[in-house]
Structure 1
Amino acid sequence: MVKISVTNLAGQTRTIDADEGMSLMENIRANDFDDLQAICGGCCSCCTCHVYVEDGWYEKLPTQADDEAMLIEDSECFQPGKSRLSCQIEVSGDMEGLTVTIAPEV
Structure 2
Amino acid sequence: MPEVTYVAADGTERKVQVPEGRSVMQGAIQNGVRGIDADCGGVLSCATCHVYVDPDWVDRLEPPSEDEEDMLSNTAAERRDGSRLSCQIEMTEDLDGLRVQIPETQS
Counterpart for residue 78 of structure 1: 79
After superposition, the CA RMSD in angstroms is: 1.3
Counterpart for residue 61 of structure 2: 61
Structure 2 unmatched runs, 5+: none
Cα distance between partner residues in 1 of 2:63 and 2:98: 16
Counterpart for residue 30 of structure 2: 30
Structure 1 unmatched runs, 5+: none
Identity of aligned residues (%): 35
Cα distance between partner residues in 1 of 2:22 and 2:74: 26
1:6-26, Cα deviation, whole Å (9 max, x unpaired): 112332101111111011100
1:75-94, Cα deviation, whole Å (9 max, x unpaired): 25110x21000001111110
- TM-score w.r.t. the length of structure 2 is 0.90
- TM-score w.r.t. the length of structure 1 is 0.91
- What SS does the aligned partner of 1:57 have? helix
1:25-59, Cα deviation, whole Å (9 max, x unpaired): 00111111132100000011110000000012111
Q: Is 1:21 paired with 2:38?
A: no
How many aligned residue pairs are there? 105
